[in-house]
Structure 1
């Protein structure tokens, strides 16, 4: 396990990243980052002496679709269930954090259209925010 430094957003903030060690200072990302931009599933990274990501040395071609449900939205639980069902049916690897943050792996050549389609209406209604990171 390594960490990504997110202190540029909030002092002392880090994201824990599950990895597979390839060499003493090289790791393959084995999780779906929720908050770390520019790092996706299966990317290869190096670390510093504090076990913080120091560089992405090889991109995997995977992308990460992230969605954040608005905590106070009155239909948040129903939206969570709808999104969860859609992602499960898609067969895409995904992770939830606290039932509010969704991270979906988009392997190379994956069309995100079916998932994006379900996000558009709720985003317009102010129920969630979403993005795709490379």
Structure 2
């Protein structure tokens, strides 16, 4: 979900992949990733002493972060550094408007379910998919390939850039 208040767009995760009983939240300023005026709210759980947390949602926009990564949080409740990578990756797909006659969103959802991987949708056009093992991803790639080729959907890896705090 996205909401804009006083010129700042806040992106939140309504259904984090690893919702736990005791959760924390922290913001990631998306300015270093070319998305000035946007903040993404990540769900976290304690992962050690001090301000050390594990990411419990699949980042929509923040680069260099994935589900299960261990991060540090600053005084202003912002993620300010990456401590340890989980070994997971995030594949993000954006479906453009207008939608074509052959829409890949349903086949993508089916492929994600069949592969047994987790995903989070931000609206009905943007999905972040957890990739714990690249070997299960081919059916997922195949489900959106026609739209990627036709330019009605776009994909990227969240680790195509490293995490950079603002």
Task: State the TM-score, normalizing by the size of structure 2.
Answer: 0.73
Q: Does 1:19 align with 2:44?
A: yes
Question: How far off is 1:12 after superposition?
Answer: 2.7
Q: Does 1:46 align with 2:33?
A: no
Question: Residue 5 of structure 1: which of 29, 34, 39 is its match?
Answer: 29
**Could you list the runs of 5+ residues in structure 2 that have no partner in the other structure?**
1-24, 160-166
1:37 corresponds in structure 2 to: 63
- Give structure 1 regions of 4+ aligned residues with deviation exceeding 6 angstroms: none
The alignment's TM-score, normalised by the length of structure 1, stands at 0.90
Name the SS for the 2:142 alignment partner.
Answer: helix
Q: CA deviation at 1:50?
A: 0.9
Write out aligned runs for 1:67-82 (5 A).
67-75=93-101, 78-82=103-107
Aligned-partner Cα distance in 1 for 2:145–2:129: 16
In structure 2, C-alpha distance between the alignment counterparts of 1:27 and 1:110, rounded to whole Å: 28
Gaps of 5+ in 1: none
Secondary structure at the counterpart of residue 99 of structure 2:
coil
Q: For the aligned residues, what is the CA RMSD? A: 1.7
Shift of 1:79: 2.1
Secondary structure, counterpart of 1:55 in structure 2: strand
Give per-residue Cα distances to partners, 1:63-101, cap 9 Å, x unaligned.
00110000322347x322121111111110111110111
Which digits, 9 at most, give the CA deviation of each residue in 1:12-43, with x for residues without a partner? 31101011022331110000001010000000
